[in-house]
Amino acid sequence: MGVALTAINYTEDDYDAIGIAMPDDIKTFEAMDRVSAYGGSGTMCCVALPEKWQPGMKLVVLTQAGTKAKTYKEWAYEKIPVIPHQVDVPRYATPARVWIQIMSPDKVLVTVSNYSPENPNWPGEIKGGPKPSLEYRRKKWNEFVNDRKKEIALLKESLSNIDKEDLKEAWELDSKYNANDVKALKGKDDPNYREYLKSKYKKSLQYSTEYLEYYMKRKP
């Protein structure tokens, strides 16, 4: 019988792929999804389960760690192995959704249930969903704050240089993606186009600054 599959990640590491291996090839995914740190997958299809649970039943869960590459070239040469985990399938009364819980790189659990881990009727060993650690939340907060500060610095630089820059690239992008906004303008050298860009950058700068101030008050 084919049933749905959901994966839940209880670790601070992203996974590019979590899923179930094909019955005749334990190195190939039959169903898979990307799962971020302390997150869950979508609904995957499908896993074949017998109508009745059988002693010694196992499923092969495959995991592939998240990429560390920062450029396409790095990603192209990055070889992240797919790791198989033979996992016991606890007793179930009838076939239901298969839940994979990633507790660590070496600890993977499987539960068959129509209930989620947050439900009081959940039969699995680990109850409740993932809870990000304080250290992880502060790390992500710092990353976000630093990214917003770089964005604000870039907007300020663009505003200060706009009167002396060649706007060819900006005009090409706006002509393609914001055609309705610039259709009345005559091109990159149109003084009104520079005013349009100034207004756009100022609005973006105000939004980014306010959002950063909001976020700064909410450090974990």
Instruction: Provide the pLDDT for residue 108.
Output: 97
Of the residues 85, 107, 130, the one at which a domain ends = 130
Do 116 and 154 lie in a common domain? no
Do 9 and 113 lie in a common domain? yes
Report how many domains make up the chain.
2
Using CA atoms, how far residue 150 sits from 15, 28, 72, in Å, is: 27, 41, 22
Do 36 and 110 lie in a common domain? yes
pLDDT at 76 over 90: no
Instruction: Provide the pLDDT for residue 26.
Output: 84
Do 96 and 11 lie in a common domain? yes
Do 115 and 139 lie in a common domain? no
pLDDT at 68 over 90: no
Number of other CB atoms surrounding residue 117 within 10 Å: 21
Minimal CA–CA distance to 18: which of 94, 80, 88? 80
Q: Output the CA torsion sign for 124, 125, 127, 132.
A: negative
Of the residues 130, 154, 185, the one at which a domain ends = 130
- Domain carrying residue 145: 135-216
pLDDT tens, residue by residue, 118-177: 999 999 999 999 999 999 999 999 999 999 999 999 999 999 999 999 999 999 999 999
Q: Output the CA torsion sign for 64, 69, 75, 79.
A: negative
Q: Could you tell me the pTM of the whole model?
A: 0.78
pLDDT tens, residue by residue, 83-104: 999 999 999 999 999 999 999 9
Strand 25-35 to 15-22 pairing = antiparallel
Do 15 and 119 lie in a common domain? yes
* CA–CA dist 66, 209 (Å, integer): 31
pLDDT at 73 over 90: no
Do 23 and 100 lie in a common domain? yes
Using CA atoms, how far residue 114 sits from 3, 37, 99, 111, in Å, is: 10, 24, 9, 10
* CA–CA dist 25, 62 (Å, integer): 11
**From 26-30, 43-47, 74-78, the region with the lowest mean pLDDT:** 74-78
Instruction: Provide the pLDDT for residue 181.
Output: 94
**Beta strands, E only, 49-160:** 58-65, 82-88, 98-104, 107-112
Do 25 and 104 lie in a common domain? yes
Strand 58-65 to 107-112 pairing = unpaired
Do 203 and 116 lie in a common domain? no
Do 93 and 46 lie in a common domain? yes
Do 19 and 39 lie in a common domain? yes
Using DSSP's 3-state secondary structure scheme, residue 31 falls into: strand
pLDDT at 25 over 90: no
Do 99 and 125 lie in a common domain? yes
The DSSP letter of residue 159 is H
Minimal CA–CA distance to 200: which of 214, 185, 213? 185
Using CA atoms, how far residue 55 sits from 3, 60, 95, in Å, is: 19, 16, 15
pLDDT at 27 over 90: no
H/E segment holding residue 194? helix 191-216
Of the residues 78, 102, 130, the one at which a domain ends = 130
pLDDT at 208 over 90: yes
Q: What is the mean pLDDT of the chain?
A: 94
